[in-house]
Structure 1
Amino acid sequence: MSADLLTQVILPGALFLIMFGMGLSLRPQNFYQVAAAPKAVGIGLAAQLLLLPILAFILANLLQLSPEIAVGLMIIALAPSGATSNLFTFLSKGDVSLSISLTAVISIITPFTIPFVVALAMQYFMGTQSEFTLPIGKTILQLLVITVIPVALGMLIHAYKPKWAQAMQGFFKWFSVAFLALIILLIILKNAANMGSFFAQAGLATLLLNVIALLLGYQIARWSKLDKAQSTTIGFEVGLQNGTLALVVAGTLIGNTQMMIPAVTYSILMFITGALFARWISRR
C-alpha cells in the first residue's frame, strides 16, 4: 500500500467526524456511570488496556510476524473500541449504556497509552535502526486533536442543542460503520492484486486476536459473575477495535503503510466474527 490522499487527509478527517458523532451521543452521566458499575467497567478497561496488548505481543512472537506487521498488530490491539462495538452490543441485547461508557472512557485514555506502547513495540520488533519513529509528545497531541477534542465538541453541542444532537446520533453511528467499510473496500480495490499477500502476512494473527479477545472478554466477565448483558458488552468492547484509528496511527502518524495491513485484515474479519459471536451469544 502507498501513502496518499487517503492516509494523509481522508482518514484523519473521517476519524474526527466519527469521534464528533460519538460525542453527540455522550452526556456527563455516561462518565458518572463508571462509578455506578465499577466492577464491570474495571473488567472492561483492564481487558482492553492490558489483556489485548499482551495477547497481541504473544501472537506476534509465536507466529514470528515480520517487524512491521507485528507493530501493526500491536496498534490494532491498542486502539479503543468504537461505534461498531456499540452497534453489535445493541443488536445482541447487551448493556448499551455500559458499552457507550466504556467506549467513551477508553477513547479518552488511549491517546496517552498508544504512543508509549507503540514506541516500545517499534523498538522491540524493529530495533533502533528503523527509519520510522513515533515522537511521543507530538503523537499524543495529534491524537488528542482528532479524538478527544471532537468528542468534547460533540458533548458541548449535545448540552446546548440536545434535539439536534439526538437527531444526528443515528446518522453519525451508521456513518462510522459505513465509512470504515467503504475505506476497507477502497483499499481492497486499490490493492486487489496484493490482498492475498496481506492475508498471508496478517490474516491468521488478526483472526486469532479478534476471536480470542471476543471469547476471553465474554468469559472473563462471566467468571466475574457479571450478568449476560454486561458480559456480552465486554466481549464486544474487547473484541471489536476501532479500525479507523489504527489506520490513522499506522498510515498517517507513523507513515508506514505496511503497518496498516493488520488493521485492514482485522477490519474485514471483525464484521464476520462479530456477527458469528452475536449469533453464538443469542443461542446460549
Structure 2
Amino acid sequence: MLSIGIKLSINDFALAMKRPVPLSVGFVAQYVLKPALGVLIARAFGISPMFYAGFLLTACVGGAQLSSYASFLSKGDIALSILLTSFTTISSVLLTPLLTGILIGSVVPVDAVAMSKSILQVVLLPVALGLVLNSYAKPIVAILQPVMPFVAMVCTSLCIGSPLAINKSQILSIDGARLVLPVLVFHTMAFTLGYWASKIPIVRQEEEASRTISLCTGMQSSTLAGLLATQFLGSTHAVPPACSVVVMAIMGLCLASFWGSGSKIRDLPSLLVQKTSSIASA
C-alpha cells in the first residue's frame, strides 16, 4: 500500500475530478458489479461453507496494484489505472466492511467496525504516508521506489503461501478442487463485465480506458482479502483469496499481453479458429 502512496500527489486528485466518468465506471464495476457477481457464482456453484465467506470477501475488495503493470502491457490508460486503484483502495476502508457485513454477515459473524480499523491500519495509513513522502520528501521516495517491487513481491508471496500451507488438506480435498472452477469463472466474468460496462453508450470510453477498467475489475486486491479473512473469518476462508491471487495474476497478465500484441476482443473468435485449425492439421 505504501507503493501506491508514493505514486500519488495532490495533483492526481485534481486530475481525477477532471475525469469523473471513467473513474465512476471503474468504481461501480468494482464495488457493485463484482460483489453481485461473487454472490451469483458462489450460489450457482454451491461453494462449500468453509470457503463461502472468503470467496465473497474476495469480491468485495478494491483493485490490485498489479493492474497498473497489466495496463502498461495492454497499452491501456496507465494514469487512469493508478488513480482507480488508489481510490478503490482508499474506499475499501468503508466499503469492504460494509459490503462484507451485508453479503456474509448472516453466514459468518463479521465485525465491520474492527475490520474498518484493520483496513485503516493496513491500507489508509501506508497510502497517506506514501502521499506525504512523495509530496514533501522526494529524496526518500527516490530511495524507496527501486526496492518497493521486491518488498511487495516478498510480502505477497508470504500472504499467498501462508494460507495455502496452513490449509493444504482442505485445498487437496474434494471441496478444494471444486473451488478452482468458481474462481476461474469469477475472474473471467469480472474482466468481461469491466470491459463491456465501459462500452455502454451513455458512458462509452475509448479503448485504452476500457482495457484499464477491465483489468482493474478483474485484478482485485486478493492479498488484502486474505489478510482480512485470516483475521476475521478464520484461516480456511483465506484459501479463496490465495487461489484468487494466482488466477487473477495469470489471467490478467495474459489478457494484457493479448491486447499489447495489437489484438482486440473482436479478433478472438478468428484467432481461436486459426489456432484450432493449426493444431488439427499438425
Give the TM-score category using the shorter length. Answer: 0.7 to 0.9
**Which position in structure 1 is the counterpart of 2:80?**
98
1:202: how far off? 1.9
Q: Deviations over 1:194-215 (max 9, x none)?
A: 5433641421111111111112
Q: Structure 1 residues 187 and 250 mapped into 2: Cα distance closer, same or farther (>3 Å)?
A: closer
Amino acid at match of 1:52: K
Q: Deviations over 1:186-233 (max 9, x none)?
A: 554565555433641421111111111112211222344311211111
Aligned CA-pair RMSD: 2.0
**Which position in structure 1 is the counterpart of 2:16?**
34
Q: Structure 1 residues 108 and 189 mapped into 2: Cα distance closer, same or farther (>3 Å)?
A: closer
Structure 2 counterpart SS, 1:85: helix
CA contact (8 A) 1:94 1:230 kept: yes
Q: Deviations over 1:131-174 (max 9, x none)?
A: xx322222212211111011111111111111331442343245
**1:203 pairs with one of 180, 201, 219:** 180
Alignment of 1:208-223 (within 5 A): 208-223=185-200
CA contact (8 A) 1:203 1:266 kept: no
Matched, 1:76 2:38: no
1:75: how far off? 0.7
1:62: how far off? 0.9
Identity between Structure 1 and Structure 2 (%)? 24
**Which position in structure 1 is the counterpart of 2:5?**
23
User: Unaligned 5+ residue runs, structure 1?
Assistant: 1-18
Matched, 1:172 2:148: yes
1:92: how far off? 1.8
Amino acid at match of 1:273: M
Amino acid at match of 1:267: V
**Which position in structure 1 is the counterpart of 2:228?**
249
CA distance in 1, matches of 2:78, 2:149: 13
**1:271 pairs with one of 230, 240, 249:** 249
Amino acid at match of 1:31: F
TM-score by length of 1: 0.84
TM-score by length of 2: 0.84
Matched, 1:66 2:48: yes
Alignment of 1:54-203 (within 5 A): 54-124=36-106, 126=107, 133-185=109-161, 187-188=163-164, 192=168, 194-197=170-173, 199-203=176-180
CA contact (8 A) 1:30 1:100 kept: no
1:180: how far off? 1.7
Select the structure with the greater relative contact order (CA < 8 A; seq sep ≥ 6).
1
CA distance in 2, matches of 1:138, 1:182: 23
Structure 2 counterpart SS, 1:222: coil
1:50: how far off? 0.2
CA distance in 2, matches of 1:30, 1:69: 38
User: Unaligned 5+ residue runs, structure 2?
Assistant: 265-282
Amino acid at match of 1:238: T
**Which position in structure 1 is the counterpart of 2:258?**
280
Larger Rg: 2
CA distance in 1, matches of 2:117, 2:165: 33
CA distance in 2, matches of 1:199, 1:90: 34
Q: Deviations over 1:89-135 (max 9, x none)?
A: 122221111111111111111111111221233334x2xxx5xx322
Count matched residues. 259
